[in-house]
């Protein structure tokens, strides 16, 4: 987004889509993607930027990771009840850590076999596409009103697996550039990033919670939580730990400690209202921009590669969900078969995968193909899987 008028025009489009979906009962987020595709397909100009061919992509890694993602993650994290999170921690961590790793390997090997890409390049694609995107998943499940425990598992996985995917992506990218990879060094780096990010986030959230306990002014306390959301991410990136995990940890701390013990009921109501609206605006912009960035002509020209990539991604997700669910049962937290179906088909991908793909150096071989496959998989997951989630939940008697 280049200027304020562009944002205003995007919000006007989002407002119109919201009115239409309210009248028709269609999912708002998916309708936004269709609107974005229409803007690009028919070259509808918005301040001379949107819909004009040859323009730079709007969804840059900086826009997603710095502007959009911290706010969305923080809003979701402050709304997660730590007691519910603790009750479902085993399947969440199982899918968010082991699941992402397995999905990366399976998807990478499958893409390498299907398309003949070098294995290290295919693994890059597996890593960047392996995480279920909280922007897509959380918004969708809120709209559909899924079972509470199922929603906690889906939201928890989507919140925590971004950190795993981002670290794996960085490790594989370094190996692709240098031609060297050390498993012990990679594991050390992974643990440092994850634990460091979580610890920093908890410290920032805890410190902010003590400050809010001394202040009874909703506007000041809401401003502080905004600083926490974006400051924890930026600080974590500065000290080379996971910014994504830091934001989630800070959000969970503020939502479960600061809000309950350091805020008055009046402040809590104002806080939830602010972050709910803020997430609504960011979600609207993200889904609209995803639709705009999915260039239909490019997708049609590479339909075979995209279909094979979709098959590889679904294969990885299928093996992860149905393969790891019995392990969750062994640890005392059984997942019903109907829930496993939802976890498999509800593993949507979105702006996080796009951001990782766009961050690939121009020197990486097959970069254009990786970008095209990423946008194709994202479009499929949001439009096809997203549109069929509600009928699936109804068929499984989950809504």
Query: Whole-angstrom Cα distance, residue 80 to residue 159?
Result: 10
Average pLDDT of span 255-260: 90
Per DSSP, the residues of 300-355 read HHTHHHHHHHHHHHHHHHHHHHHHHHHHHHHTT----HHHHHHHHHT----HHHHH
Helix (H, G, I), strand (E, B) or coil at 253: helix
pLDDT score recorded for residue 3? 58
pLDDT score recorded for residue 58? 64
- Name 120's Cβ contacts closer than 8 Å, sequence gap at least 6: 172, 175, 176
Average pLDDT of span 308-335: 92
pLDDT band at 4 (very low <50, low <70, confident <90, very high): low
What is the pTM assigned to this prediction?
0.85
Helix (H, G, I), strand (E, B) or coil at 360: coil
Would you state the structure tokens that stand for residue 274, as one six-digit string? 């602010």
pLDDT score recorded for residue 57? 58
Tokens 């294995």, residue located: 119
Query: Whole-angstrom Cα distance, residue 174 to residue 157?
Result: 26
CB 316 within 8 A of CB 64: no
**How far is C-alpha 117 from the chain's CA centre?**
26
* DSSP conformation class of 196: H
Average pLDDT of span 278-301: 83
Average model confidence (pLDDT) across the chain: 86
Query: Whole-angstrom Cα distance, residue 280 to residue 278?
Result: 5
CB 74 within 8 A of CB 275: yes
Percent of the chain with pLDDT over 70: 92
**How far is C-alpha 144 from the chain's CA centre?**
18
Query: Whole-angstrom Cα distance, residue 297 to residue 170?
Result: 30
CB 114 within 8 A of CB 308: yes
Average pLDDT of span 30-45: 83
Query: Is residue 356's pLDDT more than 70?
Result: yes
Residues in the chain: 399
CB 278 within 8 A of CB 231: no
pLDDT, tens only, 92-121: 999 999 999 999 999 999 999 999 999 999
pLDDT band at 234 (very low <50, low <70, confident <90, very high): very high
pLDDT score recorded for residue 134? 56
CB 252 within 8 A of CB 81: no
Distances (CA, A) of 38 to 10, 46, 80, 197, 302: 13, 13, 35, 39, 20
Distances (CA, A) of 19 to 13, 16, 32, 96, 354: 10, 5, 11, 36, 28
CB 134 within 8 A of CB 158: yes
pLDDT band at 228 (very low <50, low <70, confident <90, very high): very high
- Helix, strand, coil proportions of the chain in percent (round to 5)? 80, 0, 20
* DSSP conformation class of 131: S
**Which of the residue ranges 35-44, 95-104, 272-281 would you say has the lowest mean pLDDT?**
35-44
Query: Is residue 1's pLDDT more than 50?
Result: no
Span between the terminal Cα atoms of the chain, in Å: 37
φ, ψ of residue 46 to 5 degrees: the values are: -125, 105
Query: Whole-angstrom Cα distance, residue 237 to residue 277?
Result: 27
């Amino acid at each position: 987004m280049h200027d304020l008028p562009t944002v205003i025009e995007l919000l006007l489009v989002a407002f119109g889509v919201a009115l239409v979906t309210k009248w028709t009962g269609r999912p708002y987020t998916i309708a936004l993607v269709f609107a974005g595709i229409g803007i690009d397909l028919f070259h509808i100009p918005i301040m001379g930027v949107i819909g004009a061919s040859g323009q730079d992509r709007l969804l840059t890694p900086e826009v997603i990771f710095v502007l959009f993602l911290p706010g969305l993650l923080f809003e979701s994290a402050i709304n997660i009840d730590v007691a519910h999170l603790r009750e479902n921690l085993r399947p969440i961590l199982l899918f968010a850590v082991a699941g992402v790793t397995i999905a990366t390997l399976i998807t990478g090997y499958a893409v390498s076999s299907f398309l003949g890409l070098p294995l290290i390049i295919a693994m890059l694609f597996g890593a960047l596409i392996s995480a279920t995107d909280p922007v897509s998943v959380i918004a969708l499940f809120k709209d559909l009103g899924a079972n509470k425990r199922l929603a906690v598992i889906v939201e928890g996985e989507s919140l925590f697996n971004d950190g795993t995917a981002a670290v794996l992506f960085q490790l594989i990218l370094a190996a692709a550039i240098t031609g060297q990879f050390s498993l012990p060094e990679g594991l050390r780096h992974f643990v440092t990033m994850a634990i460091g990010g979580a610890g920093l986030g908890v410290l920032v959230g805890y410190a902010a919670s003590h400050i809010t306990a001394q202040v009874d002014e909703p506007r000041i306390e809401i401003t502080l939580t905004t600083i926490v959301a974006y400051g924890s991410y930026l600080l974590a990136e500065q000290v080379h730990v996971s910014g994504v995990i830091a934001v989630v940890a800070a959000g969970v701390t503020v939502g479960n400690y600061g809000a309950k013990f350091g805020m008055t009921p009046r402040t809590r109501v104002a806080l939830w209202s602010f972050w709910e609206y803020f997430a609504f605006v960011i979600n609207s912009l993200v889904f609209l921009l995803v639709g705009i960035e999915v260039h239909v002509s490019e997708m049609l020209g590479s339909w075979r590669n995209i279909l094979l990539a979709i098959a590889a991604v679904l294969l990885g997700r299928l093996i992860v969900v149905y393969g790891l669910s019995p392990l969750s049962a062994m640890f005392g937290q059984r997942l019903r078969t109907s829930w496993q179906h939802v976890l498999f088909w509800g593993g949507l991908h979105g702006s996080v995968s796009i951001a990782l793909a766009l961050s690939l150096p121009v020197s990486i071989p097959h970069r254009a193909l990786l970008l095209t496959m990423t946008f194709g998989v994202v479009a499929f997951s949001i439009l096809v899987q997203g549109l069929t989630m509600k009928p699936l939940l109804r068929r499984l008697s989950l809504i």
